Structure 1
């Protein structure tokens, strides 16, 4: 890093760096317009998530049974699926069960138990996603249910760091009733493999 002659702060200048916006340079600074900063980020657009299934199922479930009941069914299904799979893998060791309060299911029923497990998981995840979809699509302005719909492309920005790739995803939603725009940004770190 190189210290400048005007302040104690320093600026790290590497190849490829450019400055953007109004920039002042020198003792008798002049404003430089329309310059750019390049930070070696990758900016691209991807298609919005396909929510066709949730768009049909969520209103049906929420309108007919209510958000609370759908959430309770989701929780019960997920807990029951965990109990089901643990019962399947609860072998008798030295005459004692690994998990004493769960039944041990005979091997003849393994296929049936695995089928029940997958059905319970499917119900739990679907109902949980229906509740989440209802909450995330309620308009903040007009308060209508199932109002926000994906609008435009999803913008993604990846910046390589020492720890991995820092990904910023910006999704835009538009209310189909009042036209309110809602931008949602998420940040994730994709860690480097050792």
Structure 2
């Protein structure tokens, strides 16, 4: 389990910092933090795979496979919990527990991967249709997408904006959608820190709940601090690898 901690400070009169291609902008009046950075263009394997599967089977069959895989995940989870409830009540049930667990776990991983892949195929199919000429798989991204994370007191949301151009008619289109990562709020720290700007002890307080997002095996925690004396603001970004 490894950790990576980044500190970004906003002295009085400064509300924007750029670090390693990432822009951090803090509105000190509303305590809203906006983080923007470049995302990834759809990879070529997804493009060719989507085109082949959609043309061969159609989008409705892809959607059906996605839904069925999701239902099978729920069924396997229910079966596993039922097995736990009956564990010890049925003869030989304990002897087969490990095998049953391995089978359920493996199938859940398999169906989850199928669900994710079908979702990506369907999303790319929808995104790459030209709004002007109506052709499928017509749009190509002509520059890196922009990801924007907005942390305000009421909510924390992550959006991606993709930039498309039709290879047939030349029409350009921009689309923004919310990224539904697993995310939530953490707990504030009670301890106070020494201010990095005015050096007063016990001056820095965590003034709002931290945000936590999970992408693959990385948990990212963003904490927000403010000096009660000089008005210095600081955020910390901690990335922690969480193995399966």
Deviations 1:145-173 (A, max 9, x none): 11112121334556664446676643211
Residue correspondences, number: 154
Distance change >3 Å, CA 110–CA 145, structure 1 → 2:
same
User: Matched residues in 2 for 1:169 and 1:128: separation?
Assistant: 16
Sort the Cα spacing of 1:88 and 1:168 in 2 relative to 1 into closer, same or farther, 3 A.
Answer: closer
2:140 aligns with one of 146, 149, 159: 149
- Contact 2:150-2:156 at 8 Å conserved across structures: yes
Tell whether the 8 Å contact from 1:78 to 1:125 is kept in structure 2 after alignment. Answer: no
| 1:12-161 alignment runs, 5 A limit | 45-90=37-82, 91-92=84-85, 106-107=96-97, 108-156=99-147, 161=152
C-alpha separation in 1, matches of 2:65 and 2:149: 38
Q: In structure 2, how many angstroms separate the alpha carbons of the residues matched to 1:165 and 1:56?
A: 34
Give the corresponding residue for 2:166. 175
Task: Compare CA radii of gyration and give the structure with the larger one.
Answer: 1
With over 3 angstroms needed to count, the CA separation of the structure-2 counterparts of 1:84 and 1:158, relative to structure 1, is closer
1:96-151 deviation line (CA, Å, top 9, x unaligned): 8xxxxxxxxx4132112211111111112212321221111110011111111212
RMSD: 3.6
User: Greater relative contact order: 1 or 2 (C-alpha under 8 angstroms, separation 6 or more)?
Assistant: 2
Q: TM-score, normalised by structure 2?
A: 0.51
Could you say which structure has the higher helix fraction? 1
Distance 1:132 1:94 in 2: 42
Contact 1:48 1:152 in 2 (8 A): no
Structure 2 unmatched runs, 5+: 1-11, 16-24, 28-32, 90-95, 186-207, 211-244
CA shift, 1:54, in A, is 1.9
**Bigger fraction of residues in strand:** 2
Return the TM-score normalized by structure 1.
0.62
Q: What residue is the counterpart of 2:209 in the other structure?
A: 193
Q: Secondary structure at the match of 1:193?
A: strand
Query: How far apart are residue 81 of structure 1 and its match?
Result: 1.6
